[in-house]
């Protein structure tokens, strides 16, 4: 049976680009979803074998819907991560000269605000649901509007690249994760382990004591992200990304100690990290 | 001179409701802004004396644009916080019977998704820029659409309350902060201090060591929020909310120690916290 891989669609999104770095187009059956939560839930329900969704951008931060859905709505495991450099392009209809409106996903517009302000000081920026949808809108427009999106979105909609690499910051990249119903066994080396937990947070030192379980074992905490526990203001759950695999003894020991100390806890798995060259 | 207070508009937003709990309508000159960043920058430029903006919701988490603008774009101080229970209402035109479309801010729709699904299983949810804008749209509509918003937005637009308290979770509340150009001196008791900082984060234990400055002085860390440092993926700044005022000796000592240990640091001030009764 051909493996089915869901992703945040429509066709031409950066998420699709990430998927195509992981899988040959003809090796898997790709299934676009209109929402990140839909793509994630489809793994839980068995509709797809895996879904690839964005989890963090270097400028905009965490993708909250990804974190919240993983914590509250499904029981899935992270089985891979892929880091994709984001290169935005200004896409227009062939023959367009004047640009009155520039459409894109709000985050893409935000990431190009300064460059667009210099190139088209009079153009109005208009947010739409995705970079791929923006390209589609331009393809069916009167030619006075342009989209910010990927080369692939441009090709897919028969658009011209009016300007490339228009992002304000050169260090713009997005992390995508693959989610599956079963965890993988991950060999040490260029990998991460992600935990999500809630602690007794009323007393001074609660988080400090938790992080001590990592520090005393020389385990490197790469990222900590708090999200609402949804039980009231001031109550949080923490996503903890640590360097290494739970097959390593110091990491396994730290993970067990964290589990002991928490009110609520999920081990989202250990997984390899891939980087797409800039 | 009458004090000028900016807020996230238009009229009828929950942010305006928060402002009106702090100030009498005739005591200050209220100035609505269409964007949170605009409202914050207007304090920096001297256009207004203070702005009140949302910073965190109990279900949706941090308001990133507020944190990022405070960290990167202005040098302002938090001078107060007000916690407002969020009560959503379904607002319709008088005489409306059928509801085909429900409009609101995406967060408000998300906070009522289950209740709306039960009440109007066939209605389509459509995101718009604010709850107040949603009420305005309904007021000028054909009567087949409804808005999720505050009682004030309903009154302001001459709408009827078709259903009240439609939020899925009873514990839904939003924190708003007041920002000014100068810090205040805050007496101890029901107050907070907020720091934002970047640490040398490459080695195991960096964050642990930082938090130790609080723990060893019995200072309670109420909240930690990471945001991208904007210098690359995996580089973060941390917002730290601690219980108490910098006029207290253990807090002043912890704050100094944190400043010493950080690559970059801002003390956003000590300020009183007000709660609006549920």
pLDDT tens series, chain B, 278 aa? 789 999 998 888 899 999 999 998 889 999 999 889 999 999 999 999 999 999 999 988 999 989 999 999 999 999 999 999 999 999 999 877 789 999 998 888 988 988 999 999 999 998 887 888 899 999 999 888 999 999 989 999 999 999 999 998 888 899 999 999 999 999 988 999 999 999 987 778 999 999 999 999 999 999 999 999 988 888 999 999 999 999 999 999 999 999 999 999 999 999 999 999 87
Taking the domain A191-273, which CATH number applies?
3.30.70.260
pLDDT tens sequence across A31-71: 999 889 999 999 999 999 999 999 999 988 999 989 999 99
B223 with A233: Cβ contact below 8 A: no
A278: pLDDT strictly greater than 80: no
| pLDDT for B203 | 79
pLDDT tens sequence across A139-186: 999 888 999 999 989 999 999 999 999 998 878 899 999 999 999 999
A171 with B218: Cβ contact below 8 A: no
Indicate the CATH number of A3-85+172-180 among 3.90.1300.10, 3.90.850.10, 1.10.1060.10, 3.40.190.10: 3.40.190.10
Residues 59-118 of B with CB under 8 A from A: 59-61, 64, 83
CATH top-level class of B4-86+172-180: alpha beta
Rounded to the nearest integer, the mean pLDDT of chain A is 93
A203 with B220: Cβ contact below 8 A: yes
A224 with B227: Cβ contact below 8 A: no
Residue of chain B whose Cα is closest to the Cα of A173:
B233
> CA–CA separation, A169 vs B201, rounded Å?
21
CA distance B153 to chain A (A): 24
Residues 37-66 of A with CB under 8 A from B: 56-61, 64
Of B56, B204, B219, the CB nearest to A214: B204
pLDDT tens sequence across A221-241: 999 999 999 888 889 999 999
Domains A3-85+172-180 and A89-164 share a fold: yes
CATH top-level class of B191-271: alpha beta
User: Which two three-digit tokens encode residue A256?
Assistant: 């067990």
B205 with A226: Cβ contact below 8 A: no
> CA–CA separation, A183 vs A201, rounded Å?
29
Q: Please give the ipTM for the structure prediction.
A: 0.88
A117: pLDDT strictly greater than 80: yes
> CA–CA separation, B206 vs A220, rounded Å?
9
| pLDDT for A11 | 86
B211 with A207: Cβ contact below 8 A: yes
CATH superfamily of B89-164: Periplasmic binding protein-like II (3.40.190.10)
pLDDT tens sequence across A6-33: 999 888 889 999 999 999 888 999 999 9
List the domain boundaries for chain A: 3-85+172-180, 89-164, 191-273
Torsion of CA B246, B247, B253, B255, to 10 degrees: 10
> CA–CA separation, A66 vs B214, rounded Å?
31
Residue A73 and residue A35 in contact, taking contact as beta carbons nearer than 8 Å:
no
- Nearest alpha carbon to residue A102 among A154, A164, A147, A166: A147
């Amino acid at each position: 049976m051909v493996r089915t891989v869901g992703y945040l669609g429509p066709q031409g999104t950066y998420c699709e680009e990430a998927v195509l770095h992981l899988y040959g187009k003809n090796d898997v059956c790709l299934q676009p979803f209109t929402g990140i939560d839909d793509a994630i839930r489809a793994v839980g329900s068995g509709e797809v074998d895996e879904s690839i969704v964005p989890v963090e951008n270097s400028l905009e931060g965490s993708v909250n819907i990804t974190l919240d859905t993983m914590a509250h709505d499904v029981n899935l495991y992270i089985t891979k991560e892929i880091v994709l450099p984001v290169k935005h392009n200004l896409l227009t209809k062939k023959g367009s000269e004047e640009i009155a409106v520039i459409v894109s996903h709000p985050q893409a517009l935000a990431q190009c605000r300064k460059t667009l302000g210099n190139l088209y000081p009079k153009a109005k920026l208009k947010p739409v649901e995705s970079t791929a949808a923006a390209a589609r809108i331009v393809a069916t427009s009167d030619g006075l509007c342009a989209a910010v999106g990927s080369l692939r979105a441009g090709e897919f909609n028969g658009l011209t690249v009016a300007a490339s690499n228009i992002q304000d910051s050169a260090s713009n990249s997005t992390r995508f994760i693959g989610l599956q119903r079963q965890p993988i066994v991950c060999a040490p080396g260029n990998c991460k382990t992600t935990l999500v937990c809630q602690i007794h947070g009323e007393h001074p030192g609660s988080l400090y004591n938790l992080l001590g379980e990592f520090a005393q074992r020389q385990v490197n905490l790469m990222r900590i992200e708090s999200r609402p526990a949804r039980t009231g203001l001031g109550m949080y759950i923490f996503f903890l990304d640590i360097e290494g695999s739970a097959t390593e003894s110091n990491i396994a020991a730290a993970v067990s100690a964290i589990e002991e100390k928490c009110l609520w806890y999920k081990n989202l798995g250990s997984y390899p990290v891939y980087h797409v060259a800039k």
